Chains A and B, each alone.
Chain A
Amino acid sequence: MAELIRAKEGFRFYTRLHLSEMTGLKASTLGQLVELIKQVPGSCIYHHTHRFLQQHQYLSPEPPNDFAYWVIEALGEDELGERLASIDTIQFIHIRELRNEFIKVIEEYLEEHPSAKQKFARQGEEFHFMKSVSFIVPTNYTANDYREFVEVLKKITIDSIYFHVFEARLRLEKGTNDFSWWIESSCGDKQLADEIARLDPYTFTMEELRKTLVKIIEKRIT
């Protein structure tokens, strides 16, 4: 039975806490937005594509990024908002590819709809570019088998889940989430590792993601 598998190496849970750093850069039009998306540091792109996940994890899973929200709410460009919201973040392993996708979608839209260039956000509703400064801290929780793992998973903060699932994969460019990596490399359970890696975490609220992970692993040990 899978529950008897004792990991070669224990899993140490980390947490990730963040501060929002402001750049002072702001956009009032789509033209300005796309130009700044090209220039700002990768930490800004990461911030605006992931902030919603953490701040609104209990709400419905939309909207997935700040750019989509802003073009809909401040500029009234619903169609572009939908296209930006549909960008499949999970397929990108590097921030630069994700940045290029946003640039491509906005520039294509501006070519198709030149009048959209004329739209201005009202004063006070400009898009303000910020970046995330992440502080990664080891917690006191470790797991040596699935049962311990699932018990910790139930009680750690969503910041910790967030770190292992989102930040590790894209920002730290590990290519997969930490849970799958540990399950495969230390427990030798490729099937379960793949099952978790296949999830699109961007379409869950954080609490739903926690429940889903718990369910998948509990199914494995019963």
Chain B
Amino acid sequence: MIKIENYIPIVGQSIINDLQLLAERLKGKIIQNINSTPVGGGVAEILNRMIPLLKQLGVDARWDVIKGGEQFFEVTKKFHNALHGRPEEIIKQDFEIFMETSHINIEQVNIYGDIVFVHDPQPIALVEKKSLNKWIWRCHIDVSNPNERVWQFLMDFIIKYDSTVFSAPAFSRVLPIRQFLIAPSIDPLSDKNKELPQETIDTVLHRYGIPKNKPIVTQISRFDRLKDPLGVIEAYLLVKKRIDCQLVLAGGIAADDPEGIKVLEEVQDNAKKDKDIHVLLLPHNDIEINALQRASTVIMQKSLKEGFGLTVSEALWKAKPVVASNVGGIPLQIKHKYSGLLCHSIEGAAFALKQFLNNPAYAKRLGENGREHIRNNFLLTRHLRDYMLLFLSLYHTEDVVYL
């Protein structure tokens, strides 16, 4: 099991000391996390890492999961897409199905926390059980442009909470309750981010037939139009006219995305335009992703829309120069010309790639700045600190709090 002390060589003893100081002030409080699944998905992944670390710090954090049938989760999937702004036909019956399961959960879920920390829309209606304890709703979704019908439905519950949490400033709107900005994080000790020996990196390159004799430009993302893989190829082809390099487009296909296969086929078709484009359909293997990122000269994330875009943090943590779109949570991770280059178009992406490929010292400096930016702002330890501050904020309304 990973110990909190394992993070000391990465963030320093004093950061861990701060976490201990905060944890002491939460003694005696039970933090009850509630979500809809114990495995799979980003929320479960982060809770699986955070709960044991909070416990080691002395915070009584616990985790419960609501129940729901197939129909309920089909509806919540539709809600999820609609909140992301995707067109979805939501009918009256969907809301009825949602409420039916919610009522069962309201009856059956035991609420015992001094602080009840509800994640995402699925368990949102549990707030009907609110008594004298404190309730927080954590929204992990990009709700910058939500389906208003679904949003208004959720609002009836949201306003009953004490506080909400969003991942990016663009997701906030004027609300009658407090709303905090807490970005997600990466775990520097996970398989996806830990240091790798050069032999592992070379083995992965060899496995996928990627030579080391040319600079490697990489985008790692599932094959989804919102990640704009075709735009990445176009940008690469513009660069290729002047600089001899290769492109790696690697990722998987989401199980619930029928369009993914179609996008992959289109990408494979377009990749035929150049012999140095490698399209890799990766099995879920974090070490391979880590190795491909570490082998890259420049990493791209040319998304058209992005919830937070943690692949950018992953790349910067490896001190890689990154070219990424100015969308979602990406501008929080990259300050243009300080910790990477932001772009708005295919041509802009190509120009940024050329700047990095032709100026290795510049690329190195921005990559190193990026790594420090991630160390200070997007590692799991910062996330732990923010969550503990969030819990403490429930007992203080002032802007300057003496603990």
A positions within 8 Å CB-CB of B: 15, 17-25, 41, 43, 54-60, 69, 73, 122, 124-126, 128, 130-137, 139-140, 155-157, 159-160, 171-172
Contacts and interface: CB of A to CB of B under 8 A. Distances in A.
Given A22-B166, A133-B393, A59 B181 contact: no
B180 A17 contact: no
Given A55-B376, A59-B373, A156-B14, 17 more contacts: A21-B181, A22-B179, A54-B376, A55-B377, A56-B335, A122-B344, A124-B144, A128-B169, A130-B181, A133-B389, A133-B393, A133-B401, A135-B401, A136-B400, A137-B403, A140-B17, A159-B18
Given A15-B21, A24-B175, A124 B399 contact: no
Nearest to B368: A58
A43 B170 contact: no
A28 B92 CA distance: 36
A20 B344 CA distance: 27
Contacts of B389: 17-19, 133, 135
Interface residues of B, number: 47
B386 A139 contact: no
B51 interface: no
Interface string B371-403: 011001100000001100110110000011111
Contact of A22 (B21, B180, B338, B385): B180
Contacts, number: 110
A19 B390 contact: yes
Given A128-B172, A159-B18, A172 B400 contact: yes
Q: Which 10 A-B pairs rank lowest in CB-CB distance, beginning with the nearest?
A: A128-B169, A24-B174, A22-B172, A20-B181, A58-B372, A157-B14, A43-B399, A19-B389, A24-B173, A22-B179
B191 to A, nearest CB: 27
B178 interface: yes
B15 interface: yes
Contacts of B173: 24
A23 B181 CA distance: 10
A135 B392 contact: yes
B326 interface: yes
5 contacts: A21-B178, A41-B399, A122-B344, A140-B17, A155-B13
B262 interface: no
Contacts of B338: 56, 59-60
Contact of B15 (A69, A157, A171): A157
